[in-house]
Amino acid sequence: MKLTTLLSLIVLGVVALVAFDRYTSYTAERAEVDAAETKARAKPRAPAGDPAWGSGTRADSAVSEGDPDWESVPTVVAPPAAAASSFRCDGRTHCSQMTSCAEAEFFLRNCPSTKMDGNNDGEPCERQWCG
């Protein structure tokens, strides 16, 4: 009886050690993933299909960034077929995570579980991007 109890305790100890090792490996990997996600979210992203970010061209070249009417100039939006190829479903679901109206529209049409069309009229992010 003492031998079976001793063997049972040894087996239980080995199982506990294996479980603890897996847990520590998981928490270390999770910390790396969290750090990478935080770093990626901190980087500003250029809106896809918006030539005002880095290409040096705009639909209306007479307008400059110092112009007070800069915000009222419409952004050139790529056709839906071109926009669809530049976006991919990556888990983002809210308007605050989008960078353009075209991106929000792509996510609403193609990605599951989005929360970007509060009034269900088919137009996403009306206050932030598409209003």
- DSSP structure string for 75-119: PP---HHHHHHH----S--SGGG-SSHHHHHHHHHHSTT----TT
Overall average pLDDT of the 37-60 stretch: 61
pTM: 0.37
At 51 the pLDDT is 56
Rounded CA separation 116/107 (Å): 9
- pLDDT > 70 fraction of the chain, expressed in percent and rounded: 67
Q: What is the average pLDDT value for the chain, to the nearest integer?
A: 77
pLDDT in tens, 82-125: 444 588 899 899 999 999 999 999 999 899 889 988 888 989 99
Rounded CA separation 91/99 (Å): 14
Report which DSSP code applies to 17: H
At 13 the pLDDT is 93
